[in-house]
Structure 1
Amino acid sequence: MHVCVMGAGIVGLATAYELQRLGMRVTVVDQAHQPGAGASGGNGAQLSYSYVQPLADAGIWAQLPQLLLSPDSPLKLRPQWDPHQWRWGLDFLRACNRRTSERSTGALLALAARSRAGFERMLAAEQLDCDFARTGKLVLYATPAAFDAARRQMELQRAWGSEQEAISAQRCVEIEPALAHYARHVAGAIHTPSECAADCQKVCDGLRAVLEARGVRFVLGTQATGFAVAAERIAAVQTSAGAIEADRFVLALGSASHALARTLGLSLPVYPLKGYSITLDAASTPGAAPRVSVTDAARKVVFARLGERVRVAGMAELVGHDLRIPQARIDSLREAMRAVFPRGASALHDLRPWAGLRPATPTGLPVVGRHARGPRNLLLNTGHGALGFTLAFGTAAAVAGMLAD
């Protein structure tokens, strides 16, 4: 069987890996010239297998005015004459209720557990050099009320097998000494010892090398523009380099999936949430730079150690497909690093700024499998939001299983 995977981000590459592992012939198509060049390469680097609270949560209603109106807000909305943006936003607000959030949490945790198994099996088999570390994760909360809400979420996640602990600011410093200067701003934290981090760009580069060595064909720098369809089946994907024929097709183009699906008359609930990151060289002074992954819940900023570097990432903007990098957003991430880990970087001027468009669904659940009104030989694997790295091998295994049936 020949499968064409549209998308060379971490989700598309994981899908290609699982398909090739089952003996299928695979072609990977992407408009970027390098795998991982979209939302994957500079992402937050955290593999959050046990802490997956969806963005759509009942608590968002109380925060909404400040999130939308504050000039320093990590959330930004730029309304556009785009029905898809408005529809997505309304569906997101409808999903901001306790019942939907709890259902999404359970589904995401189950998928994350499957993804962890697949990713770690791949790492053991391929020995990729990707700065992988199993150092655990701390999520910091600035107020007692926020910490109480986090403990309730922890209890919910515990029902699905997550092993976590609610801890004091003092205990945070014992786990991560680099937080000593910031402890007075912490009301409490959730500690997940089993969480991991890795450089997603290095994973993408490593997977490409492995797959090419095993005969997977990469057609990069090539945009998919539509499909040739006959008898309810796709015969070929039309691209800027010509038609590519295959037996099965997997749509894993992240935030670009919606536009390509529209050429088939399909509407996918996927909209880009723009995020930013900076990557700094870690200070060599012991206890200055973090070793444990840290999320500052109030700032909605994550910190992940990648070898001798620190990745700082955050923000969620509904601004369409705009990939410009405003200096104010990069300054905000630099100030977060300065506030939380004041001695953690060897220099705060070499920031290596990045922006990416996370493909988000209103509920936070990815879109995986066949579309009820789509061609019979098309499978979807998109809409992972900020959890693309975490969930990639879980959804890849699901798609591979469907194609193997």
Structure 2
Amino acid sequence: MKEHVLVIGGGVVGLASAWWLAEAGYRVTVLERAPEVGSGASYGNGGQLSYRYVSPLADEGVPLKALQWMFQDTGPLHFRPEADLRQYRWLASFLAHCRADVNRKTTAKLLALGELSRQGMKQLETTIPFDQFAWRDAGKLVVFRSRDQFVKAAGKAGAGEVWSPAECAAREPSLAAAEPLLAGGIFNSGEAVADCHAFCLALAARLRAHPHFQGFVGGEARRLLADRGRITGVDIETGTGVHTIAADSYVLAAGMQSRTLSDTVGIALPLYPLKGYSLTAPIRADDVAPEISVTDFERKVLYARIGSKLRVAAMVDMVGEDLRHNRKRVDSLIRQVRETMPRAADYSQLSVWAGLRPATPSSAPIIGATPYANLWLNVGHGPLGFTFACGSASLLAGAMQGEAPPFALDGLTLRT
């Protein structure tokens, strides 16, 4: 049997990593600080599985738009300066990535990762019944309010089916009220929606039954311990104090906590928490909720039917690791949702959630080796952790076994 691996993080990326490593023959333990897996950024995310439509945040023209949005209470992006140099280093790197040629290269890598993830999710179908996490092959419709943006998007190779505003409303009746405001839409089949938290619970249950799985450990990782180029253990805090646990190899897949832990051994991960909000409301029998997953391109709002509920996700708040709800931001989002899809759900029963999406400046995750021989990374997936979880777990397991990757990983590994 292969070596013992400690996966730090019980969100969707950590659990997928644990599964693929267990399947590869490793003895696997998962360390999670919350009482239940999938309780962090995985809990209330948008639910879209965007395998074939990816749009890195860093792109040509984004800095000008961002300047218009950053200090608005109601715009897609909100910025609050911090007394933390990491915020400004991340922003400087982000601006350096805001070039069309860089965006094209990143998009190509993410599309390859998305296809690998789609295949990986398909492999899980025999292990986890998809009805356990409300999976639906819904397709994805990106709607545009700006004629210029619509024409530009429609002109890209392989963009998808181009729909007029009338076709958008006819094929997705939940958009009837928004039709006069739309310039058009682009539809891609093969995209899915699902409940990420439910997926985490289902995958954790399967892990517990796996012959190579050693179990879950509850506790908060405080620091990594290193000696002569190797990680020797992790100090964790539990209800009974601070303890050290050890394994042969370690995988960091702990969202924003990965940045804190890597700092303890001198690795500066280029991660920043992009706070996003989601709204969840029950769908009544006479509601006209979306059957297709819908993304409002200019407003950066996505809509997805997950089981019997409508999930709406939006906004990027650059405010550090602050999970408090900004009431103005939330109220603005609720107004936009009511205007765009007034009859989609029972908005009087809305619940609000906020999560910290660990993003890199390029929007590409970091997967693979570190300067330490037995420390591995699976971090930085931003808002696409659910989408890329299976593919990045597959790449990680392959890298740890010394296998050649299915495509070149430049742009997806740690720069040292």
Q: Same fold (TM over 0.5)?
A: yes
Instruction: Give per-residue Cα distances to partners, 1:343-364, cap 9 Å, x unaligned.
Output: 111x212212111000000001
Instruction: Output the aligned Cα RMSD.
Output: 1.4
Q: Which residue of 1 aligns with 2:110?
A: 108
Instruction: Give per-residue Cα distances to partners, 1:41-90, cap 9 Å, x unaligned.
Output: 10010000111110001020331232123331110111111011110011
Please say which of residues 261-270 and 175-184 is displaced more in the overlay.
175-184
Could you tell me the TM-score, scaled by structure 1's length? 0.94
User: Contact (CA 8 Å) 1:312, 1:333: kept in 2 or not?
Assistant: no
CA distance in 2, matches of 1:403, 1:239: 24
CA distance in 2, matches of 1:256, 1:228: 16
**Counterpart check, 1:348 vs 2:336:** no
Question: Which residues of 2 match residues 361-380 of structure 1 at below 5 A?
Answer: 361-371=360-370, 374-380=371-377
CA distance in 2, matches of 1:125, 1:8: 19
Name the CA shift for 1:18/1:301 in 2 (closer, same or farther; >3 Å): same
What is the identity, as a one-letter code, of the residue corresponding to 1:13?
L
Q: Which residue of 1 aligns with 2:192?
A: 196
Aligned residues: 394
Could you tell me the TM-score, scaled by structure 2's length? 0.92
CA distance in 2, matches of 1:277, 1:350: 14
Question: Which residues of 2 match residues 57-68 of structure 1 at below 5 A?
Answer: 57-68=59-70
Q: What residue ranges of structure 2 are gaps of 5+ in the alignment?
A: 403-416
Q: Where in structure 1 do 4 or more consecutive aligned residues deviate above 6 Å?
A: none
What is the identity, as a one-letter code, of the residue corresponding to 2:71?
L
Q: Aligned-pair distance for 1:221? A: 4.2
Q: Aligned-pair distance for 1:231? A: 2.5
CA distance in 1, matches of 2:230, 2:74: 49
Q: Which residue of 1 aligns with 2:175?
A: 179
User: Contact (CA 8 Å) 1:33, 1:220: kept in 2 or not?
Assistant: no
Q: Secondary structure at the match of 2:349?
A: coil
Q: What residue ranges of structure 1 are gaps of 5+ in the alignment?
A: none
Q: Secondary structure at the match of 1:138?
A: strand
Q: Secondary structure at the match of 2:186?
A: strand
Instruction: Give per-residue Cα distances to partners, 1:295-330, cap 9 Å, x unaligned.
Output: 111211100111111100111011110011122232
Instruction: Give per-residue Cα distances to partners, 1:215-244, cap 9 Å, x unaligned.
Output: 534445411111222221112111114111
Aligned to 2:148, which of 142, 145, 150? 145
What is the identity, as a one-letter code, of the residue corresponding to 1:366?
P
CA distance in 2, matches of 1:272, 1:398: 24
Q: Which residue of 2 aligns with 1:70?
A: 72
Question: Which residues of 2 match residues 76-225 of structure 1 at below 5 A?
Answer: 76-128=78-130, 129-152=132-155, 154-155=156-157, 158=158, 164-214=160-210, 216-225=213-222
**Counterpart check, 1:305 vs 2:308:** no
Q: Secondary structure at the match of 1:349?
A: helix
Q: Percent identical across equivalent pairs?
A: 41
CA distance in 2, matches of 1:398, 1:71: 39
User: Contact (CA 8 Å) 1:9, 1:39: kept in 2 or not?
Assistant: yes
What is the identity, as a one-letter code, of the residue corresponding to 2:207?
L
What is the identity, as a one-letter code, of the residue corresponding to 1:319?
V
**Counterpart check, 1:244 vs 2:245:** yes
Q: Which residue of 1 aligns with 2:405?
A: none
Instruction: Give per-residue Cα distances to partners, 1:187-232, cap 9 Å, x unaligned.
Output: 0111111110000000001111111122534445411111222221
CA distance in 1, matches of 2:303, 2:136: 13
CA distance in 1, matches of 2:111, 2:343: 35
CA distance in 2, matches of 1:282, 1:120: 28
**Counterpart check, 1:397 vs 2:394:** yes
